[in-house]
């Protein structure tokens, strides 16, 4: 009886947590809906509304894509099979467990390690983590090229939706800037006492205040992510330098400014401003910075991990002498 009561309580807490996780999104939606009403129905001229709606459409489109584009998880090649999982969990000898994971890692394009140089293994999802993949405790899964978990979109930002998140930030900055600049004229009228309507005064003051407040915070966040894109880094990699088989390398994925941008937005520039998927690759492996092979074992040849992989890509050799360590 007590066990059933505890399970019901645990289920209720999980349900409450899921509901509360949508509160930041609800706040943003309500603010945007109010700003739309105040701007369109209370204040603006037709000439302003044409450009306003163009920005508003892209703003809401990118926000929707950031929220509802599910994080992409590693495919089955990185998971332990059912039999291997049972054997791994039942095995009491650590050296045998290590050898199992080492054998699996040899066939996969994984070149990053933990801080101690061990193979990156998730003991929750029972998989060897692809490069730049991390386990999100909020989403309870491993996310390819994870950047961070964002409460304002109630979603994990990673390979599948990082482009949409950047576009959302860009259009949010543009949205706030446009509202602030066009409403400023009404603020001058309010200051001079030329707005007789009390309701209009309220909307003018709060539109300008909210637009400026969000603009300042968003432009800082957007500028930071632009810097990350220019260096081909994720937020996690900016705070914790990636470790490769040769050791820590903060610029291991830096391909140069243009190629770094293309790693997020793709080669076709006509898709850069539109929230459609155009990021190259599958999120499981990424091109590495060009270095001298004699100085960096990352560029050594390795057998392909999949028959369909590009035959021209060279992968570094994974040493079987590296220790295995779980990482969550």
Catalytic residues: 150
Residues present in the chain in total: 328
The DSSP bridge partners found for residue 248 are 243
DSSP alpha helix (H) spans, 73-115: 82-90, 94-105
In order, the DSSP letters of 129-155 are: PPTT-EEETTTTEEETT--EEETTTTE
Domain ranges of the chain: 76-129
d(CA 322, CA 67): 39
d(CA 199, CA 188): 16
Using the structure block, give the residue that is written with the tokens 């066009």.
182
Whole-angstrom CA distances from 166 to 45, 162, 274 are: 30, 6, 11
Strand-pair category, 243-244 with 247-248: antiparallel
Confidence (pTM): 0.82
Per-residue pLDDT of the chain (328 residues; tens, 9 = 90+): 555 555 656 666 778 888 888 999 999 999 999 999 888 887 776 778 889 999 999 999 999 999 999 999 999 999 988 888 888 888 778 778 777 877 888 889 999 988 877 889 998 999 999 999 999 999 999 999 999 999 999 999 999 999 999 999 999 999 999 999 988 888 887 777 766 666 667 788 888 899 999 999 999 999 999 999 999 999 999 999 999 988 899 899 999 999 999 999 999 999 999 999 999 999 999 999 854 333 344 433 333 334 344 333 343 333 333 334 445 4
């Amino acid at each position: 009886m007590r066990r059933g009561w505890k399970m019901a309580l645990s289920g209720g807490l999980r349900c409450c947590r899921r509901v509360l996780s949508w509160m930041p999104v609800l706040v943003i939606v309500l603010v945007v809906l109010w700003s739309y009403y105040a701007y369109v129905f209370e204040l603006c001229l037709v000439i302003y509304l044409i450009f306003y709606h163009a920005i508003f459409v892209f703003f809401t489109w990118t926000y929707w894509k950031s929220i509802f584009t599910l994080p992409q998880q590693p495919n089955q090649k990185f998971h332990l099979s059912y039999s291997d999982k049972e054997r791994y969990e039942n095995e009491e000898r650590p050296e045998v467990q290590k050898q199992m994971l080492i054998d699996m890692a040899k066939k996969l394009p994984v070149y990053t390690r933990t801080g101690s140089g061990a193979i990156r293994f998730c003991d929750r999802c029972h998989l060897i983590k692809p490069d730049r993949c991390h386990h999100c405790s909020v989403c309870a899964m491993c996310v390819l090229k994870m950047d961070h978990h964002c409460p304002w979109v109630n979603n994990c930002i990673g390979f599948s939706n990082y482009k949409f998140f950047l576009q959302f930030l860009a259009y949010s900055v543009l949205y706030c800037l446009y509202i602030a600049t066009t409403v400023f004229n009404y603020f001058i009228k309010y200051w001079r006492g030329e707005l007789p309507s009390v309701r209009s005064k309220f909307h003018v003051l709060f539109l300008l205040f909210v637009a400026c407040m969000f603009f300042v915070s968003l432009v800082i966040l957007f500028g930071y992510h632009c810097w990350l894109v220019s260096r081909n880094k994720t937020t996690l990699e900016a705070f914790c330098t990636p470790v490769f088989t040769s050791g820590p390398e903060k610029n291991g994925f830096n391909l140069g400014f243009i190629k770094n941008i293309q790693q997020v937005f793709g080669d076709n520039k006509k898709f850069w401003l539109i929230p459609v998927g155009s990021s190259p690759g599958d999120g499981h492996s990424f091109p590495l910075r060009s270095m001298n092979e004699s100085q960096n074992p990352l560029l050594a040849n390795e057998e392909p991990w999949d028959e369909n992989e590009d035959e021209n890509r060279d992968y570094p050799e994974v040493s079987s002498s590296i220790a295995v360590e779980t990482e969550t």
